[in-house]
Amino acid sequence: MSAARLRELLLSRGREWPAALESFEVLDSTNDVMRERAKDGAAPWSAVVADRQSAGRGRRGRAWASPPGNLYLSVLAGAPSQPRWRPLVPLVGGLAVAEALAEFGVEAGLKWPNDVLAGGRKLAGVSAEASFGGGGPEWIVLGVGVNVGVNPGTVDPGLVGRATSILELTGAAPDRLAVAAALLIRLHDRHAELEAGAGGALLDAWRARSVAWWGRAVEVVSGEQALRGVALGVDDGGALLLRLADGRTETILAGEARELRLDE
């Protein structure tokens, strides 16, 4: 993949990209490089793509299978200046990814906080790693992995039946740089809306794309805690509302949720 070509693709869509774009054949993790760039003072919207990663990271310390053929991208986003919108950044990341993938014929759904699913299988993942200064987060590295041409279940037995790819869903693997360009534009525009204070409208757009599991039994792992209950929805701060067995409603700011099977 070539960063120069990514810049041209963006320009052909009317975007003169405001920051550095870099491409690599292989990296441990695009997130690590982007974090280094951020510490060195990189401009917001700097981005890094790689053909493959040797130590790709998922959320909660999991590995992210990163064979050649898929897209691995990290982009530096500023933290929204209004603190109340900051918790929405991960959700807006997932929303922007799902919207960008629609350009390639895929209708993806969102599972709180930001899993991008198609037919119940994972198509893309988004991570948000923030750096905190005295006054709150200073910058956020959004890391996006999109299964473009390879279903990771074919390289990682643990993912069999749980992942899919654009190729599997549509019969064609689009140009990964075209996917990267669509993602960057969507992330940039949705983030600008958040900065402009449109968090409520963004949450409505997120809810409209969320997978239909409201009212279902789920387990949420948040920090060291695993909570079971009924998923009620997402509140105006982007937190998951979970009704516990004792009738209380728990507000969960961050974590990982999965639907429970009937026998669990």
The verdict on 109 binding ligand BTN (CB under 6 A) reads: no
Cα 9 to Cα 223: distance, rounded to the nearest angstrom: 40
Closest approach, Cβ 29 to ligand BTN, in A, equals 3
Q: Which of 10, 38, 51, 53 contacts ligand BTN by CB under 6 A?
A: 53
Q: What is the DSSP letter of 14?
A: T
23 belongs to the binding site for ligand BTN (CB under 6 A): no
- Could you say which of 90, 143, 174, 199 contacts ligand BTN (CB under 6 A)? 143
Residue 165 near residue 179 (C-beta atoms within 8 A): no
Please, which residue, 31 or 86, has the CB nearer to ligand BTN?
A: 31
Query: How far apart are alpha carbons 77 and 55 in whole angstroms?
Result: 22
Which span (8-16, 123-131, 169-177, 230-238) binds ligand BTN, by CB under 6 A? 123-131
Residue type (1 letter), 32? D
**Of residues 35, 37, 57, 86, which one binds ligand BTN by CB under 6 A?**
57
Q: Does 30 bind ligand BTN (CB under 6 A)?
A: yes
Amino acid (1-letter code) at residue 152:
P
Q: Are 97 and 124 in contact (CB under 8 A)?
A: yes
- Binding window for ligand BTN (CB under 6 A); candidates: 12-20, 49-57, 153-161, 229-237: 49-57
- Cα 200 from Cα 85, distance rounded (Å): 9
Task: Tell whether the torsion through CA atoms of 47, 19, 189 and 130 is positive or negative.
Answer: positive
Contact 41, 60 (CB under 8 A): no
* Residue ranges in 65-84 that form contacts with ligand BTN under rule CB under 6 A: 72-74
Interaction site with ligand BTN (CB under 6 A): 29-31, 53, 56-59, 62, 64, 72-74, 115, 125-127, 143-145
